[in-house]
Structure formats: structure tokens, C-alpha cells
Structure 1
Amino acid sequence: MEHAERVLGAAGDLFYRRGVRAVGMDEVRAASGVSLKRLYQCYPSKEALVVAYLERRDERWMSSLTGYVADRPDPIPAVFEWLERWFGEDGFRGCGFVNAYGELGADSAAVRDVVRRHKERLRAYLRGLAEEAGAADAGLLAEQLLVLIDGATAVAMVSPREAAAAAARAAGLAAAALTASDESA
């Protein structure tokens, strides 16, 4: 298990930083310090390693988001506060799922599936927050928040990150207020 973790850690860093197609298995081997034979025993193909990387990223990303939001009194604004913190991290390179999908989605059903599962998991989480907030149409609000998160993440890759997070937060709060006011109408 130790070997698999070392390989996954090295691959995750390299894939997120440089892109999946740009990183070869020999480079993962060198960065992890695991022999190529052992690497392929742990992950029989590059696709299997990419899927494991994305599944691990999903767990860590969602745990970070949900943990941060759970400690805040207003969950929807907290999502965007967390987003701003994430955008400010050293090495921020946007959404690892969208990046991997852009590189491999047309060629790999396994990668498409793990990316879709992540987005569905995020959508379901946002729907739960919208329901807790009393949104008249929690599904619509969740979809709006998801689009804002993904859009802000893409914009933050190429523009001032603080501006992208602030704009997404303002739009998210406006959408939440509109959905709440629809309920009282």
C-alpha cells in the first residue's frame, strides 16, 4: 500500500501541475521512487492511475469544502469564501477534473465517469445547502451555484483570482436571494 500511495501522490502532483498527457509513467516512477515494475503492479495502466488520482482528488477536494462550510453559519457564502481560499493556494491550476476531462474525456470513458461522478457529488452537496437555506427550487439554485463555481474556477486560472471569487460570490448570493424570494411570492 505504501508504494501505491507514493505513486499516487507523485502522479497527482505532476498531473495537476503539468497535465495528464504531458506526464509519462517513467516520470511518475522517478518522482515516486518506485520501480516501474512496482508502479505497474499498483496501477496497471496510465488510465487506471489517472482514475485513482481523480478519485483521490474528489475525496480531498470535497472534504476540504464540506469541512470548511460545516464550520460557518451561512453555508452558501461560505462555499465562495472557501473557493477564494482555494484560488489563493500556491500551485492553483484550476479544476483538476475539467483539466483531465479536457485532455482525456474524448478518449477515456473511465475518466469521463469519474469526472461526472465528482460533478454530480458537488451538485448534490449544493442542492443540500440550497434546501437547508429554504430555496423554493433547490435544484435550480444548486445548478446555478455549480455553474458559478466552475465558471469562477476557469476565470481564476487566467485572471485575477480574487475578482473571480468575489464575482461568483455576489452572483451566488443574488441567486440564493432570488430563489428565497420566489418562495415568499
Structure 2
Amino acid sequence: MDQTKLSARERILRTAHVLFYREGIRSTGVDRIIAEAGVTKVTFYRHYPSKNDLIVAFLDYRHRIWMPWFQDALQRHGNNLLAIAPVLQEWFADPSFRGCAFINALGEMGGSMPEVVHRVNQHKAELRKVIEGLLPENCDREDWASAVAMAIDGAVVRAEWGEPTEALHGFNQLIEGVYCLKPQT
């Protein structure tokens, strides 16, 4: 969408989204966001009284755009546990891929911002719920969803290191192992 057609608040948020994800939260200054969003400092601070407020808004925005993408991608690839690997492969192949925005934010901000920890926990809980929906009803879906979500996080971090093929191979090995260990009925 043409940036000029967006409200100042939306331009600031979208600019921060790109910069925070691509370059990191701590390394992206407010002055750069202001310049690239084409707003004044007064406008920036009217919408986001602090950088911390913008960080929280960034994580909320990332969640709102990433979760629907993930669910749509699962649908395209079969909407089952085996669909996760091709979805991850699709994500890893995106030239803008820089890992999980939530893991990155937590790594940068640590426990210094409880709001970040809260947003990360919310995002990861919703991801586990989506994964639960992919699992058969005759298993402990909550525990298996947590295990699969942890494997996704590991694959994402490994892919961010520049090893997406190895990340996907390891993830597939785990998922195939889950299927092999599952009791036959």
C-alpha cells in the first residue's frame, strides 16, 4: 500500500515494523523511524509517547499479520502436522526472513519490559492452540502442541543462523518421529 495514503500513526507503525524486524529493536532509533515514516517528532510522540509504546504496538501488529499468514499457509499445505515444514520452508525462503520477531524481541529486551514478555507469551500460546488443532484428538494435544511449538522455535532460530536446510531436516525428523511413536489403532 502507498505509504502516503496511510495515517501518520500507521506509517510510523509500519516503518517500525520493517526496521525493528530487519535491523533489531535496540539498533533502530526513534529519529530514524521518524525520518523514514515522514513525520515530525511531535506527531511521533503524539501517537507513541515512548519507544516502548511503539515496541508493544510493533509486536501486536506483527501478531495480527503473522498469525493469519501462518494459518493460511497451513491450509495451502494440507492443514495437518506435516504441513508445518513446508510452511516453515516458505517463510525461511522469504528474502525478508529474520527469524521470529517475538524471540528476537525477547532476546533484545529480555525481562526489562514485562509488556514484551507478555506479548511473546500471548503469541506463543496462540501458536500452540493452532498446532493443537492439527493434532489428532486421541493424544495429549496440549503437551504435543507445546513440543511441536518448541521444535518450530528451534528450527526458526537455526534458520536465522543461515542454516534453513538443516533446520527443516531436523524439524522433519522430529515430526516423523512423532508419527512413528504414535500408537497404531
TM-score (norm: length of structure 1):
0.90
Shift of 1:177: 4.2
**1:6-25 alpha-carbon deviations (Å, 9 max, x no partner):** 00111011111111111111
Query: Which structure 2 residues correspond to residues 147-158 of structure 1 after superposition, within 5 A?
Result: 147-158=150-161
Aligned with 1:105 (options 110, 113, 119): 110
Q: Which amino acid aligns with 1:41?
A: R
1:94-136, Cα deviation, whole Å (9 max, x unpaired)? 1110111111132101111111100111111111211xx3441
- Higher mean Cα deviation, 153-162 or 169-178? 169-178
Specify every segment of 5 or more residues in structure 1 that has no aligned partner in the other structure, as ranges.
none
Q: Which amino acid aligns with 2:88?
A: L
Separation (CA, whole Å) in 2 of partners of 1:135 and 1:84 = 28
Residue segments in structure 2 that go unaligned for 5+ positions in a row: 1-5
- Structure 2 residue corresponding to 1:53, chosen from 11, 36, 58: 58
**Aligned equivalents of 1:162 and 1:34: distance in 2?**
41
Secondary structure of the 2:98 match is: coil
Matched position secondary structure for 1:93: coil
Match of 2:86 among 74, 81, 85: 81
- Let me know the Cα RMSD of the aligned residues: 1.6
* Residue of structure 2 equivalent to 1:4: 9
Q: Which amino acid aligns with 1:144?
A: A
Partner SS state of residue 95, structure 2? coil
2:142 aligned partner: 139
The equivalent of 2:38 in structure 1 is 33
**Aligned with 1:129: secondary structure?**
coil
Equivalent residue, structure 1, for 2:3: none
Structure 1 distance, partners of 2:168, 2:93, is: 10
Question: 1:90, 1:119 → 2: CA distance?
Answer: 24
In the alignment, what sits opposite 2:100? 95
| Partners of 1:65 and 1:82 within 8 A in 2 | yes
Deviation (angstroms), 1:56? 0.9
Structure 1 CA distance, aligned partners of 2:104 and 2:78?
A: 32
- Judge conservation of contact 2:77–2:86 (CA < 8 Å) in 1: no
Tell me, in whole angstroms, the C-alpha distance in 1 between the residues paired with 2:28 and 2:40: 16
Give aligned-pair identity as a percent.
32
Secondary structure of residue in 2 paired with 1:92: coil
Give the number of equivalent residue pairs. Answer: 180
Q: Describe the shift of the 1:23–1:73 C-alpha distance in structure 2 as closer, same or farther (beyond 3 A).
A: closer
TM-score (normalizing by structure 2): 0.90
Say which of 150, 153, 175 aligns to 1:172.
175
